[in-house]
């Protein structure tokens, strides 16, 4: 169970003591005539749901590769670029990525990049991926191509001919190197390196892209790593100030320092040993936290947009709570609250602290005789 919210709450409490006038009392319990001081405000002791929230800045974007780098579309066709996609365009399995000499280059799904011509007799991981694509696109059934086979046979030739016919290509039944690009998923074009009308070069990057999956990326201060866990619920505040829910989908394990190159990307340099600073001393190490929106459609089409992220790190469904400003620091250590009694004589109740709910300014407390419905003294404002 995570306990870091107690430390976070303690830090908040120090700030409250400094700014909100938390009183230092001498002794664990004492009678306090109400006439000794100007009448203070009161607040109810309540049984409520409390949540600890880490609030940080994030960036709303589209998911790329696991290391944050984009997908690269590599060309192997010979000729002239005659059609290129627009920035932001989404290309899915079986659709045309671009054209060379007016011949289509199709996107297929797979982890093995295209590196050879595929025809009858070929075998390997790339053949298995091609066959999976042909089945997904409806040009053959799994039974026809052999669901566990990585060999290119006559049924594969027939399915490739159907793919070529659908794309308006010459139906050879052979997938020539340069006719297809394999990527793990549908791609959304982010940058274009090729120029319309330019000559192609084998092995050059035509474009870069992300997936179509929405993601919020947070550069979390490394010292807060233990406060956040996969599965934590999140509230995302969008650029239009509307909110939408999300879930923490990954928490980085390696702290990095911001690059000094001005690129805005983090490099792999680590924090100075035993410190909370980078080796340069000028920056703070961070870890990457990914948040997956629960309703991607609600996030619109913003890309690289700044958002505010509230990560709920702990929740107590039913907690006895008082305002943080009701806490009184005791000279011997610890805290107490001043309970209002009938008849004008108040008394102090030492309390143990639990969860801090910074958003509502409440803290979970427990103490002998303290119960919901009582009133406690809070500073006048």
What percentage of residues in the chain have a pLDDT greater than 70?
A: 83
Rg of the chain taking only CA atoms, in angstroms: 31
pTM: 0.73
**77-86, 263-272, 342-351 — which is least confidently predicted?**
263-272
Name the residue among 146, 175, 181, 170 with its Cα closest to residue 160.
Answer: 175
Which residues lie across from 189 on neighbouring strands? 209
Name the residue among 111, 65, 107, 69 with its Cα closest to residue 90.
Answer: 107
**From the candidate CATH numbers 2.60.120.1030, 1.10.101.10, 1.10.8.640, 3.40.50.300, the one assigned to the domain spanning 72-210:** 1.10.101.10
pLDDT tens-digit series, residues 48-79: 999 999 999 999 999 998 778 999 999 999 99
Distances (CA, A) of 337 to 28, 356, 374: 10, 16, 11
Q: What average pLDDT score do residues 108-131 get?
A: 97
pLDDT tens-digit series, residues 247-278: 999 999 889 887 644 333 444 455 554 555 67
Alpha helices per DSSP H over 74-223: 125-136, 142-145, 154-167
Provide the residue ranges of all domains of the chain, joining segments of one domain with +: 4-54+315-378, 57-64+214-313, 72-210
pLDDT tens-digit series, residues 224-241: 999 999 999 999 999 999
**From the candidate CATH numbers 2.40.30.170, 1.10.10.10, 3.30.420.40, 2.60.130.10, the one assigned to the domain spanning 57-64+214-313:** 2.40.30.170
The class of domain 4-54+315-378 in CATH terms is mainly beta
């Amino acid at each position: 169970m995570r306990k870091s919210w107690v430390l976070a709450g303690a830090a908040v409490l120090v700030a409250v003591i400094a700014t909100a006038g938390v009183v230092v009392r001498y002794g664990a319990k004492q009678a306090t005539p109400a006439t000794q001081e100007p009448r203070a405000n009161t607040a109810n002791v309540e049984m409520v749901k409390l949540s600890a929230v880490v609030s940080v800045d994030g960036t709303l974007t589209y998911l790329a590769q696991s290391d944050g780098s984009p997908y690269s579309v590599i060309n192997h066709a010979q000729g002239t670029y005659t059609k290129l996609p627009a920035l932001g365009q989404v290309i899915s399995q079986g659709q045309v990525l671009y054209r060379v000499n007016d011949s289509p280059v199709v996107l297929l799904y797979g982890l093995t990049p295209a590196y050879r011509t595929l025809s009858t007799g070929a075998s390997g991981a790339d053949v298995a991926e091609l066959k999976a694509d042909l089945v997904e696109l409806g040009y053959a059934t799994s039974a026809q191509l052999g669901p566990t086979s990585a060999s290119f046979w006559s049924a594969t030739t027939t399915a490739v001919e159907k793919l070529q016919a659908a794309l308006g290509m010459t139906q050879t039944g052979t997938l020539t190197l340069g006719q297809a690009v394999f990527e793990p998923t549908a791609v959304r074009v982010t940058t274009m390196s090729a120029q319309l009308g330019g000559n192609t070069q084998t092995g050059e990057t035509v474009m870069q892209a992300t997936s179509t999956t929405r993601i919020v990326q947070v550069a979390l201060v490394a010292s807060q790593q233990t406060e956040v866990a996969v599965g934590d619920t999140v509230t995302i505040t969008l650029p239009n100030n509307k909110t939408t829910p999300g879930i923490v989908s990954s928490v980085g394990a390696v702290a990095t320092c911001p690059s000094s190159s001005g690129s805005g990307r983090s490099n792999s340099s680590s924090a100075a040993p035993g410190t909370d600073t980078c080796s340069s001393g000028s920056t703070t190490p961070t870890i990457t936290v990914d948040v997956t929106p629960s309703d991607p459609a609600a996030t619109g089409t913003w890309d690289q947009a700044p958002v505010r992220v509230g990560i709920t790190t702990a929740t107590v469904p039913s907690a006895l709570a008082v305002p943080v400003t009701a806490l009184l620091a005791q000279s011997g250590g610890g805290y107490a609250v001043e309970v209002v009694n009938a008849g004008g004589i108040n008394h102090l109740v030492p309390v143990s602290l639990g969860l801090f709910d910074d958003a509502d300014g409440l803290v979970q407390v427990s103490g002998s005789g303290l119960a919901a419905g009582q009133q406690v003294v809070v500073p006048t404002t």
